[in-house]
Structure 1
Amino acid sequence: MVTLRFSGSLHVTSNSFFNELIYMHTNLLQLCKNKDSILIGMAMKMMLKFEKYWGCEGNQNFLLYVANVLDPRFKLKYVKFCFGDLYDYDKAQLLTNKVKDTLMSLYEFYLKIDEVVDNNRHKQDVNAIDDVEVDVNTLARFKRHLLEVDSVENKNEVERYLIEGCEDPNDDKLDILGWWKSNALKYKILSKVAQHVLAIPISTVASESAFSTGGRVLDQFRSSLSPATVQALICCQNWLHHGSIPTDIRSLINDLETYENLESEFGGKLHLVTDDN
């Protein structure tokens, strides 16, 4: 189910990452406490793999958390709530602040770009009114004053967005990009951040390819193998993988290819002899 959601291409997927991550983490924690020894063993191995990528702060991509914060149904409140359930207070607070700092860094970067664009427009406006009897210095100072005022107001965009109430968390039909478009005047800079962050796909791998072993068997050197040989290779690989006797898989694959070639050659001759008769 998680793979299907991450592989979507007709809707925003980056904002769903955090929800699915919490879902997987919570279920793995529950399975680690299961009474079934087999399930516990599997869950512990999966948890080790999970912690390898998401247990260490240095390995995490906080931009994916920011995508969830930019979802008006959840914002930073949901991230903080989930971290509080999974970790102790200090770690939850540390991760929450890290997510907010990442969002602020993005916002300040886009704010600087917007200021550069405004300055360029200002220079063009000054050049356009050279022939008008107006005090250019006064206009330039007034323009800088407006930029300073706008800058102070814009710096509060993130805080205003986070403080305001969330949309209905159960509203699955909410058009997130449409919401940001309709609120672009209210959040001039933050809407640009949301536009670019939410456009990032979580995965570019098709869901049907996520669990397929075909790519590991049918490489560019063996793309002409028959379906029967491919099936035999996959079965042999599974059997040999769980065997206790070391085996040279490469030599076995070469033997299978030789056998297939011989079968094709003699089978064709036999077919010709049968047609002649």
Structure 2
Amino acid sequence: MDNGGKRAGPPQYTDWKAIERLCRFLVIFYNSTLVVSASTTVNAYKCYEEIVNIATNLMALSQSRDHELKRKAVEMYKKFDKYWDGVKNINNMLIVATVFDPTKKMVLASLCFDELYGKDSLEGKAMYDSVIGILRSLFNEYGERYGKSAAGKPDEGKNSNSQSNSCSRELSMVSMDLDDDGLGYKRIDQRYKDMLNESGVKDNRDELDIYLKEGVENPDLMPGVEYDVLPFWKRNCTKFPILSQIA
């Protein structure tokens, strides 16, 4: 408007500034919409990351020196925070879904907590402990429900273990009758077996511990190709029978 009437002519500087501010907001939601809506695979594990992307970018814009941009960002963040009932009160199952992406696990969740609440903050630590607690509860519940049946499926993962099974069959055909003269000769491997039998030395970690402490997957994908989480759990259902049920 110019002097009470619509101005004719090209956009002025103030118009371009308004468009620039609009683009600062649109790029946030455009990218998140693209990730969630344009995906061709199951993508529940991507939702929390996009929520954090939106939250942190709106928080950053709320500190802008551009007063108009800051005002709009503050208003938008209030609506965003109200919609999610406060990011701290978000349904933690969204975060749990993120952990079941083997390329992210708890590493991404920890980074998100640092971005939202500050590095090594009490809020971030509380969120981390809360998610670990939910994972442990889920694992215990599914372990009681599926533990025996999941562990007793010899045919699952047969193709992925075919090479190792083949090697085992070949080795089993080799006869190794070691001689024992009974005159004080001792072998370290026999002593090791005796130690195992006596002390019960074994890996006491369960599936959840092993999964979280193993390094994240780093697939070498072609540009434009999505990583699909479900085939990972299909391939590893024998290694992680209970976790694959949860996934």
| TM-score by shorter chain over 0.5 | yes
Deviations along 1:7-43, one digit per CA (max 9) or x if unpaired, are 3473121111122122112211221111222211111
Say which is worse superposed, 61-70 or 168-177, in terms of deviation: 168-177
Distance 1:111 1:47, change over 3 A: same
Partners of 2:58 and 2:73 within 8 A in 1: yes
State the distance in 2 between where 1:107 and 1:68 align.
Answer: 16
1:36-185 mapped onto 2 (5 Å cutoff): 36-52=66-82, 53=84, 55=86, 57=88, 59-88=89-118, 89-115=121-147, 156-168=206-218, 171=221, 173-185=226-238
State the distance in 2 between where 1:95 and 1:21 align.
Answer: 15
Which runs of at least 4 in structure 1 moved beyond 6 Å after TM superposition? 152-155
State the distance in 2 between where 1:19 and 1:169 align.
Answer: 19
Identity %: 34
Which structure features the higher share of helix residues? 1
Aligned length: 162
Question: Which structure 1 residue ranges, 5 or more long, are not aligned?
Answer: 119-151, 195-277
State the distance in 2 between where 1:174 and 1:74 align.
Answer: 12
Partners of 1:33 and 1:40 within 8 A in 2: yes
In terms of Rg, which structure is larger? 1
State the distance in 2 between where 1:72 and 1:4 align.
Answer: 22
1:180-219 mapped onto 2 (5 Å cutoff): 180-194=233-247
In structure 1, the residue matched to 2:20 is: none
Distance 1:191 1:100, change over 3 A: same
Deviations along 1:87-140, one digit per CA (max 9) or x if unpaired, are 14110000011111112222211111115758xxxxxxxxxxxxxxxxxxxxxx
Partners of 1:110 and 1:193 within 8 A in 2: yes
Deviations along 1:135-155, one digit per CA (max 9) or x if unpaired, are xxxxxxxxxxxxxxxxx9897
Question: Which structure 2 residue ranges, 5 or more long, are not aligned?
Answer: 1-29, 151-201
State the distance in 1 between where 2:244 and 2:134 align.
Answer: 16
Distance 1:27 1:33, change over 3 A: same
Partners of 1:15 and 1:70 within 8 A in 2: yes
TM-score (norm 1): 0.52
Aligned residues: CA RMSD: 2.8
State the distance in 2 between where 1:56 and 1:82 align.
Answer: 11
State the distance in 2 between where 1:49 and 1:169 align.
Answer: 37
The one-letter code sitting in structure 2 at the alignment partner of 1:69 is V
Partners of 1:184 and 1:191 within 8 A in 2: yes
State the distance in 1 between where 2:108 and 2:114 align.
Answer: 10
State the distance in 2 between where 1:7 and 1:153 align.
Answer: 42
State the distance in 2 between where 1:169 and 1:55 align.
Answer: 34
